[in-house]
Amino acid sequence: MNPALSVIFFSTLSGAGYGLWFWWASSLLGHNRDYGIKDYVTLAMGAVFVVSGLLSSTLHLGRKERAWRALSQWRSSWLSREGIVALLCFIPAAALAFTPVHGSMQKGFALALMALSLATVFCTAKIYHCLQTVPAWRHASVLPLYLLSALYTGGLWLASIFAIWTFAPALALLALLTLGLMAGYWRNNDHAQMPSRSSALGLPEARKVSVFENPHTEANFISKEMGHVLARKHSSRLRELCSLFGFVLPTLACIAAWTLNLPVLYSLAAISGMLGVFIGRWLFFAEARHVVSLYY
């Protein structure tokens, strides 16, 4: 499929924002502590990531003035559910920002922010996972990949803000799990079989079906959106770059920051991790094949 940069920016930035909110809210559950400037920076950075991602997603809409109507289809649309849950996230986030009071109320808002953040990322993943027309996205790794990527990038940014030394092993484990799932998803893409024209017509696979005449004389919306082809050599190189920038370099930087007492390396790890996840998300769309390509 043709990767839309607006959607890729949306899923990468908003995922990092929700992951950052999740980890920060979880830190309020263990013990009572007073807010500092870093807490407000974390809340603000998460909001910037989330809002920037949501705004970038609107760039892909044909009729932007009708975007609000998507919220009304929550009974059947994961896109609608995602929008509603994304808006609900700002309620506990704002409550925690303006009521920094210890006690059960603070912990309740923190739990709500954690749950809603993960629910939003889950809804984002389900938008793609539920599509029967893109076989690659039906793989079981898609949902945990979106969730782990959000937790991973959000954790990198939290570590860069607070310089949490003991967080380095957890980030290394998240990197290992996410990369392992991503490698499994890539292997599935390499071996997955697209439905054939014969099976689409209910004929045996031995019966070869060919196109007598092209369906259109020029490109249209469907062929532009669904007909992207990525060369295998480019795919392999981009996978290597995704693994290197997204997981290998951030893990080494986190371990170095932990052992050498250099907190600036956490910031470099966060930037590198975001770049790698962005490349991986681009591949997620570029390598996917829509069944409508059989027609064209």
Q: How many residues does the chain have?
A: 296
Q: Domain residues for 169?
A: 5-191+220-294
Q: Which among 18-22, 35-39, 55-59, 228-232 has the top mean pLDDT?
A: 18-22
Residue 190 CB neighbour total at 10 angstroms: 11
Percent of the chain with pLDDT over 90: 48
Give domain status of residue 181, yes or no.
Answer: yes
- Compare 73 and 216 and report the one with higher pLDDT: 73
Percent of the chain with pLDDT over 70: 81
- Between CA 60 and CA 63 the distance in angstroms is 9
Q: What was the pLDDT predicted at 238? A: 92
Q: What was the pLDDT predicted at 56? A: 81
pLDDT tens profile 138-164: 899 999 999 999 999 999 999 999 887
Work out the pLDDT band at 267, boundaries 50, 70, 90. very high
Give domain status of residue 106, yes or no.
Answer: yes
Give domain status of residue 214, yes or no.
Answer: no
* 219 has a pLDDT exceeding 70: no
Q: Taking all residues of the chain, what is their mean pLDDT, rounded to a whole number?
A: 85
Mean pLDDT of 110-118: 96
* 221 has a pLDDT exceeding 70: no
Sign of CA dihedral 194, 192, 132, 80: negative
| Structure-token match 């570590």, residue found | 159
Per DSSP, 136 falls in state G
Q: What was the pLDDT predicted at 250? A: 94
Residue 180 CB neighbour total at 10 angstroms: 13
Count of the separate structural domains present in the chain: 1
Global pTM value: 0.87
* Long-range contacts (CB closer than 8 Å, 24 or more residues apart) made by 249-257: 249/276, 250/156, 250/171, 250/175, 250/276, 251/171, 251/172, 251/175, 251/176, 254/156, 254/159, 254/167, 254/168, 254/171, 254/172, 255/168, 255/172, 257/159, 257/163, 257/165, 257/168
Give domain status of residue 118, yes or no.
Answer: yes
- Between CA 27 and CA 110 the distance in angstroms is 9
pLDDT tens profile 52-109: 988 887 776 666 666 666 677 778 889 889 989 999 999 999 999 887 677 788 899 9
Residue 274 CB neighbour total at 10 angstroms: 22
Give domain status of residue 207, yes or no.
Answer: no
Give domain status of residue 200, yes or no.
Answer: no
Domain with residue 232: its CATH number is 1.20.1630.10
Give domain status of residue 201, yes or no.
Answer: no
Give domain status of residue 198, yes or no.
Answer: no
